[in-house]
Structure 1
Amino acid sequence: MPSIQACLFDLDGVIVDTAQFHYIAWREMAQDLGFDLTREENERLKGISRMESLEIVLSIGGVELSEEEKARRAAAKNTRYLELCMQMTPDDALPGVRRFLDELKANNISTGLGSASKNAQVILERIDMLHYFDTIVDGNRITKGKPDPQVFLMGAADLNVPPAQCAVFEDAVAGIESAKAAGMLAVGIGEASVLTQADIVIPGFENFGLPQLENI
Protein backbone atom coordinates (compact mmCIF):
# COMPACT_ATOMS: atom_id res chain seq x y z
CA MET A 1 0.00 0.00 0.00
CA PRO A 2 1.42 3.44 -0.93
CA SER A 3 2.09 5.71 2.02
CA ILE A 4 -0.83 7.87 3.08
CA GLN A 5 -0.57 11.49 1.89
CA ALA A 6 -4.10 12.65 2.77
CA CYS A 7 -6.84 11.82 5.27
CA LEU A 8 -10.49 12.49 4.49
CA PHE A 9 -13.06 12.59 7.28
CA ASP A 10 -16.81 12.28 7.46
CA LEU A 11 -18.31 14.79 9.91
CA ASP A 12 -21.21 13.29 11.85
CA GLY A 13 -20.05 10.50 14.14
CA VAL A 14 -16.38 10.95 13.23
CA ILE A 15 -15.38 14.53 14.08
CA VAL A 16 -18.41 15.38 16.18
CA ASP A 17 -21.51 13.49 17.25
CA THR A 18 -24.42 15.42 15.78
CA ALA A 19 -26.43 12.22 15.24
CA GLN A 20 -28.41 12.92 18.41
CA PHE A 21 -29.49 16.30 17.01
CA HIS A 22 -30.57 14.72 13.72
CA TYR A 23 -32.58 12.14 15.64
CA ILE A 24 -34.33 14.74 17.80
CA ALA A 25 -35.26 16.83 14.74
CA TRP A 26 -36.49 13.88 12.64
CA ARG A 27 -38.40 12.39 15.57
CA GLU A 28 -40.15 15.70 16.29
CA MET A 29 -41.21 15.85 12.63
CA ALA A 30 -42.45 12.24 12.71
CA GLN A 31 -44.45 12.87 15.87
CA ASP A 32 -45.96 15.96 14.26
CA LEU A 33 -47.09 13.68 11.41
CA GLY A 34 -48.65 11.23 13.87
CA PHE A 35 -46.06 8.48 14.36
CA ASP A 36 -42.84 7.81 16.29
CA LEU A 37 -39.29 7.24 15.03
CA THR A 38 -37.18 4.80 17.04
CA ARG A 39 -33.42 5.00 17.46
CA GLU A 40 -33.12 1.76 15.49
CA GLU A 41 -35.09 3.23 12.58
CA ASN A 42 -32.97 6.39 12.77
CA GLU A 43 -29.85 4.27 12.05
CA ARG A 44 -31.12 3.95 8.46
CA LEU A 45 -30.63 7.71 8.00
CA LYS A 46 -26.88 7.71 8.70
CA GLY A 47 -24.67 9.11 5.96
CA ILE A 48 -27.37 9.90 3.41
CA SER A 49 -28.85 13.16 2.15
CA ARG A 50 -31.64 15.13 3.79
CA MET A 51 -34.24 14.37 1.09
CA GLU A 52 -33.34 10.66 1.05
CA SER A 53 -33.70 10.64 4.84
CA LEU A 54 -37.08 12.33 4.58
CA GLU A 55 -38.33 9.68 2.14
CA ILE A 56 -37.26 6.92 4.54
CA VAL A 57 -38.95 8.60 7.51
CA LEU A 58 -42.18 9.06 5.54
CA SER A 59 -42.10 5.43 4.41
CA ILE A 60 -41.68 4.31 8.05
CA GLY A 61 -44.80 6.25 8.98
CA GLY A 62 -46.71 5.31 5.82
CA VAL A 63 -47.20 9.01 5.12
CA GLU A 64 -47.49 10.55 1.65
CA LEU A 65 -46.83 14.25 1.09
CA SER A 66 -46.76 16.55 -1.92
CA GLU A 67 -43.34 17.58 -3.25
CA GLU A 68 -44.00 21.10 -1.95
CA GLU A 69 -44.82 19.80 1.54
CA LYS A 70 -41.75 17.52 1.48
CA ALA A 71 -39.53 20.52 0.73
CA ARG A 72 -41.17 22.50 3.54
CA ARG A 73 -40.79 19.67 6.05
CA ALA A 74 -37.14 19.08 5.11
CA ALA A 75 -36.34 22.78 5.53
CA ALA A 76 -38.11 22.89 8.90
CA LYS A 77 -36.19 19.81 10.07
CA ASN A 78 -32.91 21.46 9.06
CA THR A 79 -33.81 24.68 10.89
CA ARG A 80 -34.51 22.68 14.05
CA TYR A 81 -31.27 20.70 13.62
CA LEU A 82 -29.25 23.92 13.29
CA GLU A 83 -30.92 25.35 16.41
CA LEU A 84 -29.62 22.32 18.31
CA CYS A 85 -26.17 22.59 16.68
CA MET A 86 -25.85 26.21 17.79
CA GLN A 87 -25.59 24.93 21.37
CA MET A 88 -22.33 23.14 20.49
CA THR A 89 -18.91 24.19 21.81
CA PRO A 90 -15.31 23.07 21.12
CA ASP A 91 -15.82 20.48 23.89
CA ASP A 92 -18.25 18.63 21.59
CA ALA A 93 -15.47 17.39 19.28
CA LEU A 94 -15.14 13.63 19.76
CA PRO A 95 -12.35 12.40 22.07
CA GLY A 96 -8.90 12.23 20.50
CA VAL A 97 -9.83 13.67 17.11
CA ARG A 98 -8.18 17.07 17.67
CA ARG A 99 -4.93 15.39 18.78
CA PHE A 100 -4.98 13.09 15.73
CA LEU A 101 -5.49 16.06 13.37
CA ASP A 102 -2.60 17.88 15.07
CA GLU A 103 -0.45 14.78 14.46
CA LEU A 104 -1.38 14.72 10.77
CA LYS A 105 -0.57 18.43 10.39
CA ALA A 106 2.79 17.95 12.13
CA ASN A 107 3.62 15.25 9.56
CA ASN A 108 2.50 17.28 6.52
CA ILE A 109 -0.44 15.01 5.74
CA SER A 110 -3.27 16.86 4.00
CA THR A 111 -6.75 16.78 5.50
CA GLY A 112 -10.20 17.08 4.00
CA LEU A 113 -13.81 16.79 5.07
CA GLY A 114 -16.19 14.67 3.00
CA SER A 115 -19.77 14.94 4.23
CA ALA A 116 -23.31 14.87 2.84
CA SER A 117 -24.14 17.63 5.33
CA LYS A 118 -24.87 21.11 3.96
CA ASN A 119 -24.07 22.51 7.40
CA ALA A 120 -20.50 21.20 7.74
CA GLN A 121 -18.83 24.61 7.78
CA VAL A 122 -21.20 26.00 10.42
CA ILE A 123 -20.64 22.98 12.68
CA LEU A 124 -16.84 23.13 12.29
CA GLU A 125 -16.94 26.82 13.22
CA ARG A 126 -18.98 26.06 16.34
CA ILE A 127 -16.43 23.49 17.57
CA ASP A 128 -13.46 25.65 16.45
CA MET A 129 -12.09 23.08 13.99
CA LEU A 130 -12.56 24.74 10.60
CA HIS A 131 -8.84 25.58 10.41
CA TYR A 132 -7.87 21.89 10.51
CA PHE A 133 -9.20 21.14 7.02
CA ASP A 134 -7.42 21.93 3.76
CA THR A 135 -10.63 21.33 1.82
CA ILE A 136 -14.32 20.79 2.55
CA VAL A 137 -16.49 18.75 0.20
CA ASP A 138 -20.03 18.86 1.50
CA GLY A 139 -23.66 18.66 0.42
CA ASN A 140 -23.39 22.06 -1.22
CA ARG A 141 -20.81 20.76 -3.71
CA ILE A 142 -21.66 17.14 -4.46
CA THR A 143 -24.32 15.96 -6.91
CA LYS A 144 -24.19 12.27 -5.89
CA GLY A 145 -24.53 11.02 -2.33
CA LYS A 146 -22.66 8.18 -0.66
CA PRO A 147 -22.15 5.28 -1.48
CA ASP A 148 -21.15 7.01 -4.74
CA PRO A 149 -17.41 7.86 -4.45
CA GLN A 150 -17.83 11.44 -5.73
CA VAL A 151 -17.40 13.15 -2.35
CA PHE A 152 -14.03 11.52 -1.63
CA LEU A 153 -12.75 11.70 -5.20
CA MET A 154 -13.44 15.46 -5.16
CA GLY A 155 -11.54 15.73 -1.88
CA ALA A 156 -8.54 13.88 -3.29
CA ALA A 157 -8.60 16.10 -6.40
CA ASP A 158 -8.76 19.26 -4.26
CA LEU A 159 -5.72 18.06 -2.31
CA ASN A 160 -3.93 16.85 -5.46
CA VAL A 161 -3.36 13.41 -3.92
CA PRO A 162 -3.99 10.11 -5.79
CA PRO A 163 -6.95 8.15 -4.34
CA ALA A 164 -4.66 5.20 -3.49
CA GLN A 165 -2.74 7.50 -1.11
CA CYS A 166 -5.86 8.64 0.75
CA ALA A 167 -7.35 7.23 3.95
CA VAL A 168 -11.03 7.79 4.75
CA PHE A 169 -12.53 7.84 8.25
CA GLU A 170 -16.21 6.93 8.28
CA ASP A 171 -18.87 5.69 10.72
CA ALA A 172 -21.56 4.74 8.17
CA VAL A 173 -21.83 1.73 5.85
CA ALA A 174 -22.60 4.00 2.88
CA GLY A 175 -19.45 6.02 3.65
CA ILE A 176 -17.23 2.94 3.81
CA GLU A 177 -18.67 1.77 0.48
CA SER A 178 -17.97 5.22 -0.96
CA ALA A 179 -14.34 5.11 0.22
CA LYS A 180 -13.76 1.64 -1.22
CA ALA A 181 -15.39 2.64 -4.53
CA ALA A 182 -12.96 5.58 -4.65
CA GLY A 183 -10.02 3.15 -4.25
CA MET A 184 -9.07 4.50 -0.83
CA LEU A 185 -8.12 2.95 2.50
CA ALA A 186 -11.28 2.81 4.64
CA VAL A 187 -11.07 3.20 8.41
CA GLY A 188 -14.37 2.51 10.15
CA ILE A 189 -15.31 4.30 13.36
CA GLY A 190 -17.70 2.09 15.32
CA GLU A 191 -18.58 -1.59 15.27
CA ALA A 192 -16.68 -4.13 13.14
CA SER A 193 -19.84 -6.23 12.88
CA VAL A 194 -21.56 -3.32 11.08
CA LEU A 195 -18.70 -1.79 9.05
CA THR A 196 -17.73 -5.09 7.46
CA GLN A 197 -16.15 -3.60 4.31
CA ALA A 198 -13.70 -1.36 6.19
CA ASP A 199 -9.96 -2.18 6.07
CA ILE A 200 -9.86 -1.68 9.85
CA VAL A 201 -12.46 -0.66 12.43
CA ILE A 202 -11.58 1.37 15.53
CA PRO A 203 -13.85 2.56 18.38
CA GLY A 204 -12.53 6.12 18.10
CA PHE A 205 -9.35 8.21 17.99
CA GLU A 206 -8.33 7.99 21.65
CA ASN A 207 -5.78 5.20 21.10
CA PHE A 208 -5.20 5.74 17.40
CA GLY A 209 -2.38 7.67 15.73
CA LEU A 210 -0.26 7.89 12.62
CA PRO A 211 1.82 4.76 13.42
CA GLN A 212 -1.35 2.65 13.58
CA LEU A 213 -2.61 4.17 10.33
CA GLU A 214 0.64 3.40 8.51
CA ASN A 215 0.56 -0.20 9.74
CA ILE A 216 -2.82 -1.01 8.18
Structure 2
Amino acid sequence: MTTALLFDFDGVVVDTEVATFQAWRDTYAEFGVELSLEDWLPAVGTGSSTSGAFDAVAHLESLIGAAVDRDELIARRSARKAELYAKAPLLPGVRERLAEARRIGIATAIVTRNRDDRVRTQSDLVGLDHEWDACICANEEPTRDKAELYRLALAELAVAPADALAFEDSPSGVDAARRAGVRCAAVPNDVTRGAAFDDATVVLSSLEGHSLAEILALAGDRARPARR
Protein backbone atom coordinates (compact mmCIF):
# COMPACT_ATOMS: atom_id res chain seq x y z
CA MET A 1 0.00 0.00 0.00
CA THR A 2 1.33 3.43 -0.91
CA THR A 3 1.90 5.53 2.19
CA ALA A 4 4.15 8.25 0.75
CA LEU A 5 4.35 10.33 -2.42
CA LEU A 6 7.78 11.72 -3.35
CA PHE A 7 7.73 14.66 -5.75
CA ASP A 8 10.56 16.00 -7.83
CA PHE A 9 10.14 19.78 -7.81
CA ASP A 10 11.36 21.37 -11.05
CA GLY A 11 9.14 20.31 -13.92
CA VAL A 12 6.76 18.27 -11.73
CA VAL A 13 5.46 20.77 -9.18
CA VAL A 14 6.42 24.08 -10.80
CA ASP A 15 7.08 24.55 -14.53
CA THR A 16 10.69 25.65 -14.11
CA GLU A 17 12.23 23.15 -16.55
CA VAL A 18 10.84 25.15 -19.45
CA ALA A 19 12.25 28.34 -17.92
CA THR A 20 15.67 26.72 -17.45
CA PHE A 21 15.80 25.61 -21.09
CA GLN A 22 14.49 28.93 -22.40
CA ALA A 23 17.08 30.87 -20.41
CA TRP A 24 19.86 29.01 -22.20
CA ARG A 25 18.11 29.35 -25.57
CA ASP A 26 17.90 33.11 -25.07
CA THR A 27 21.59 33.22 -24.12
CA TYR A 28 22.57 31.21 -27.20
CA ALA A 29 20.46 33.50 -29.37
CA GLU A 30 22.64 36.44 -28.34
CA PHE A 31 25.44 34.68 -30.24
CA GLY A 32 23.26 33.94 -33.26
CA VAL A 33 22.97 30.19 -32.64
CA GLU A 34 20.26 27.86 -31.40
CA LEU A 35 20.21 25.36 -28.54
CA SER A 36 18.16 22.40 -29.74
CA LEU A 37 15.93 20.40 -27.45
CA GLU A 38 17.68 17.22 -28.60
CA ASP A 39 21.04 18.56 -27.42
CA TRP A 40 19.57 19.88 -24.17
CA LEU A 41 17.75 16.74 -22.98
CA PRO A 42 20.83 15.03 -21.44
CA ALA A 43 21.08 17.95 -18.98
CA VAL A 44 17.51 17.64 -17.68
CA GLY A 45 17.34 16.17 -14.21
CA THR A 46 21.12 16.08 -13.70
CA GLY A 47 21.37 19.08 -11.36
CA SER A 48 23.77 21.03 -13.57
CA SER A 49 23.80 22.38 -17.11
CA THR A 50 27.49 23.22 -17.09
CA SER A 51 29.04 19.92 -16.03
CA GLY A 52 28.36 16.22 -16.24
CA ALA A 53 26.17 14.88 -19.03
CA PHE A 54 25.99 18.25 -20.80
CA ASP A 55 28.02 21.46 -20.62
CA ALA A 56 25.99 24.31 -22.09
CA VAL A 57 29.00 26.65 -22.21
CA ALA A 58 31.23 24.16 -24.02
CA HIS A 59 28.41 23.35 -26.43
CA LEU A 60 27.95 27.05 -27.21
CA GLU A 61 31.67 27.41 -27.86
CA SER A 62 31.54 24.47 -30.27
CA LEU A 63 28.69 26.10 -32.19
CA ILE A 64 30.31 29.53 -32.52
CA GLY A 65 33.86 28.27 -32.91
CA ALA A 66 35.27 30.55 -30.23
CA ALA A 67 35.88 30.67 -26.50
CA VAL A 68 33.65 32.73 -24.20
CA ASP A 69 34.02 34.07 -20.67
CA ARG A 70 32.41 31.17 -18.79
CA ASP A 71 31.68 33.02 -15.55
CA GLU A 72 30.22 36.05 -17.33
CA LEU A 73 28.08 33.87 -19.58
CA ILE A 74 26.71 31.84 -16.67
CA ALA A 75 25.94 35.06 -14.79
CA ARG A 76 23.97 36.43 -17.76
CA ARG A 77 22.09 33.18 -18.15
CA SER A 78 21.35 33.09 -14.40
CA ALA A 79 19.86 36.58 -14.58
CA ARG A 80 17.61 35.56 -17.47
CA LYS A 81 16.67 32.35 -15.66
CA ALA A 82 15.62 34.35 -12.58
CA GLU A 83 13.34 36.50 -14.76
CA LEU A 84 11.67 33.43 -16.23
CA TYR A 85 11.44 31.59 -12.90
CA ALA A 86 9.44 34.52 -11.50
CA LYS A 87 6.75 33.73 -14.10
CA ALA A 88 6.86 29.92 -13.90
CA PRO A 89 3.39 28.53 -13.03
CA LEU A 90 2.29 25.71 -10.76
CA LEU A 91 1.75 22.69 -13.00
CA PRO A 92 -1.81 21.41 -13.57
CA GLY A 93 -3.21 18.97 -11.04
CA VAL A 94 -0.50 19.42 -8.41
CA ARG A 95 -2.64 21.29 -5.90
CA GLU A 96 -5.52 18.84 -6.26
CA ARG A 97 -3.41 15.68 -5.93
CA LEU A 98 -1.67 17.07 -2.83
CA ALA A 99 -5.02 17.90 -1.28
CA GLU A 100 -6.23 14.35 -1.95
CA ALA A 101 -3.09 12.90 -0.36
CA ARG A 102 -3.58 15.01 2.75
CA ARG A 103 -7.23 14.01 2.93
CA ILE A 104 -6.56 10.25 2.86
CA GLY A 105 -3.47 10.35 5.06
CA ILE A 106 -0.65 9.76 2.56
CA ALA A 107 2.62 11.50 3.41
CA THR A 108 4.14 13.85 0.84
CA ALA A 109 7.73 14.94 0.31
CA ILE A 110 9.84 16.98 -2.06
CA VAL A 111 12.97 15.24 -3.36
CA THR A 112 15.07 17.56 -5.50
CA ARG A 113 18.59 18.48 -6.48
CA ASN A 114 17.55 22.12 -6.07
CA ARG A 115 18.04 24.28 -2.98
CA ASP A 116 15.52 24.41 -0.15
CA ASP A 117 15.37 28.23 -0.34
CA ARG A 118 14.54 27.99 -4.06
CA VAL A 119 11.77 25.48 -3.33
CA ARG A 120 10.29 27.86 -0.76
CA THR A 121 10.61 30.88 -3.06
CA GLN A 122 8.99 29.17 -6.04
CA SER A 123 6.21 27.74 -3.87
CA ASP A 124 5.47 31.22 -2.53
CA LEU A 125 5.43 32.66 -6.05
CA VAL A 126 2.77 30.19 -7.22
CA GLY A 127 0.80 30.31 -3.96
CA LEU A 128 1.46 26.70 -2.97
CA ASP A 129 1.18 26.52 0.82
CA HIS A 130 1.09 22.72 1.11
CA GLU A 131 2.68 21.40 4.28
CA TRP A 132 5.23 18.81 3.17
CA ASP A 133 6.14 15.98 5.53
CA ALA A 134 9.74 16.19 4.31
CA CYS A 135 11.75 18.38 1.94
CA ILE A 136 14.98 16.72 0.82
CA CYS A 137 17.21 19.05 -1.21
CA ALA A 138 20.76 18.76 -2.55
CA ASN A 139 21.51 22.40 -1.68
CA GLU A 140 25.29 22.83 -2.10
CA GLU A 141 25.62 19.50 -3.97
CA PRO A 142 23.41 19.93 -7.07
CA THR A 143 24.97 16.95 -8.87
CA ARG A 144 24.59 14.58 -5.91
CA ASP A 145 23.25 11.14 -6.82
CA LYS A 146 19.50 11.60 -6.58
CA ALA A 147 18.98 7.99 -5.55
CA GLU A 148 20.70 8.98 -2.29
CA LEU A 149 18.20 11.81 -1.85
CA TYR A 150 15.35 9.35 -2.31
CA ARG A 151 16.85 7.10 0.34
CA LEU A 152 17.10 10.07 2.71
CA ALA A 153 13.43 10.88 2.13
CA LEU A 154 12.40 7.30 2.81
CA ALA A 155 14.41 7.28 6.03
CA GLU A 156 12.97 10.59 7.22
CA LEU A 157 9.43 9.42 6.53
CA ALA A 158 10.14 5.93 7.92
CA VAL A 159 8.66 4.42 4.76
CA ALA A 160 9.80 1.29 2.92
CA PRO A 161 10.71 1.79 -0.76
CA ALA A 162 7.85 -0.48 -1.87
CA ASP A 163 5.36 1.75 -0.05
CA ALA A 164 6.35 4.95 -1.86
CA LEU A 165 5.57 6.38 -5.28
CA ALA A 166 7.79 9.00 -6.90
CA PHE A 167 6.83 11.57 -9.53
CA GLU A 168 9.55 12.58 -12.00
CA ASP A 169 9.69 14.47 -15.29
CA SER A 170 13.01 13.16 -16.70
CA PRO A 171 14.49 9.76 -17.52
CA SER A 172 17.39 10.45 -15.14
CA GLY A 173 14.92 11.17 -12.34
CA VAL A 174 13.00 7.98 -13.06
CA ASP A 175 16.28 6.05 -12.98
CA ALA A 176 17.19 7.58 -9.60
CA ALA A 177 13.86 6.54 -8.09
CA ARG A 178 14.23 3.04 -9.53
CA ARG A 179 17.74 2.66 -8.08
CA ALA A 180 16.31 3.60 -4.67
CA GLY A 181 13.71 0.84 -5.07
CA VAL A 182 10.82 3.29 -5.51
CA ARG A 183 8.08 2.97 -8.12
CA CYS A 184 7.95 6.03 -10.33
CA ALA A 185 5.22 7.80 -12.27
CA ALA A 186 6.75 9.82 -15.10
CA VAL A 187 5.00 13.13 -15.76
CA PRO A 188 6.73 14.61 -18.82
CA ASN A 189 6.56 18.37 -19.37
CA ASP A 190 7.00 20.41 -22.55
CA VAL A 191 10.77 19.89 -22.41
CA THR A 192 10.82 16.14 -21.72
CA ARG A 193 7.69 14.99 -23.54
CA GLY A 194 9.68 13.38 -26.34
CA ALA A 195 12.05 11.48 -24.04
CA ALA A 196 11.90 7.71 -23.46
CA PHE A 197 10.46 6.62 -20.11
CA ASP A 198 10.83 2.86 -20.43
CA ASP A 199 11.80 2.44 -16.76
CA ALA A 200 8.78 4.31 -15.39
CA THR A 201 6.04 2.36 -13.61
CA VAL A 202 3.45 4.48 -15.40
CA VAL A 203 3.61 7.52 -17.69
CA LEU A 204 1.04 10.28 -17.13
CA SER A 205 0.39 13.12 -19.54
CA SER A 206 -0.34 15.36 -16.56
CA LEU A 207 -1.27 15.18 -12.89
CA GLU A 208 -4.54 16.83 -13.90
CA GLY A 209 -5.95 13.94 -15.90
CA HIS A 210 -6.42 11.40 -13.09
CA SER A 211 -7.50 11.38 -9.47
CA LEU A 212 -4.90 10.24 -6.96
CA ALA A 213 -6.78 6.97 -6.50
CA GLU A 214 -6.57 6.34 -10.24
CA ILE A 215 -2.85 7.18 -10.33
CA LEU A 216 -2.16 4.77 -7.46
CA ALA A 217 -4.11 2.04 -9.22
CA LEU A 218 -2.15 2.63 -12.45
CA ALA A 219 1.07 2.37 -10.42
CA GLY A 220 0.01 -1.03 -9.07
CA ASP A 221 -1.43 -0.07 -5.69
CA ARG A 222 -4.05 -2.78 -5.27
CA ALA A 223 -5.03 -1.52 -1.82
CA ARG A 224 -6.39 1.72 -3.28
CA PRO A 225 -8.45 0.83 -6.37
CA ALA A 226 -9.31 3.52 -8.85
CA ARG A 227 -12.73 5.11 -8.65
CA ARG A 228 -14.49 5.49 -11.99
Question: TM-score per shorter chain, which class?
Answer: 0.7 to 0.9
What CA deviation, in whole Å up to 9, does each residue of 1:77-113 have, x standing for no partner?
Answer: 233212222234xxx2122111110000011111111
Alignment TM-score, normalising by the size of structure 1? 0.82
Are the aligned partners of 1:144 and 1:150 in contact in 2 as well (CA < 8 Å)?
no
Write the deviation string for residues 135-182 of structure 1: whole angstroms up to 9, x where unpaired. Answer: 222230656535x40121122222222222111001100000000000
CA distance in 2, matches of 1:192, 1:162: 32
Matched with 2:225 is: none
Contact 1:115 1:151 in 2 (8 A): yes
TM value normalised by structure 2: 0.79
Q: Distance in 2 between matches of 1:126 and 1:5?
A: 29
In the alignment, which residue of structure 1 is the partner of 2:122?
123
What residue in structure 1 maps to residue 94 of structure 2?
97
The aligned residue for residue 35 of structure 2 is 37
Tell me the residue number matched to 1:188: 186
Match of 1:169 in 2: 167
One-letter amino acid matched to 2:127: D
Equivalent of residue 199 in structure 1, options 198, 201, 226: 201
State how many pairs are aligned: 208
* 2:105 paired residue number: 108
Change (3 A) 1:109 1:64: farther
Structure-2 change in CA distance of 1:53 and 1:120 (3 Å): farther
Offset at residue 212 of structure 1 (A): 2.2
Task: Give 1:25's aligned amino acid.
Answer: A
Corresponding letter in the other structure for 2:110:
L
Superposed displacement of residue 70, structure 1: 3.7
The residue type paired with residue 96 of structure 2 is R
Amino acid at match of 1:99: E
Q: d(CA) in 2 for partners of 1:83 and 1:183?
A: 37
1:87 aligns with 2:84: no
Residue 226 (structure 2) aligns with: none
Q: 1:49 to 1:105 in 2, by over 3 A?
A: same
Alignment of 1:58-77 (within 5 A): 58-61=57-60, 62=62, 69-77=69-77
CA contact (8 A) 2:42 2:53 kept: no
Q: Distance in 1 between matches of 2:214 and 2:169?
A: 18
Partner Cα distance (1:176, 1:55) in 2: 18
1:54 & 1:176 partners in 2: Cα distance?
16
Are 2:6 and 1:8 equivalent residues in the alignment? yes
Contact residue 3 and residue 159 of structure 2 kept, 8 A: yes
Give structure 1 stretches of 5+ with no counterpart.
none
Q: 1:144 to 1:60 in 2, by over 3 A?
A: closer
Using a 3 Å threshold, how does the CA distance of structure 1 residues 84 and 144 change in structure 2: closer, same or farther? closer
* 2:78 is the counterpart of 1:78: yes
Report the alpha carbon displacement of residue 204 of structure 1 after superposing the two structures with TM: 0.9
Please give the alpha-carbon distance, in whole angstroms, between the structure 2 residues aligned to 1:113 and 1:107: 18
Partner of 1:212: 214
Amino acid at match of 2:211: G
What stretches of structure 2 of length at least 5 have no aligned partner? 221-228
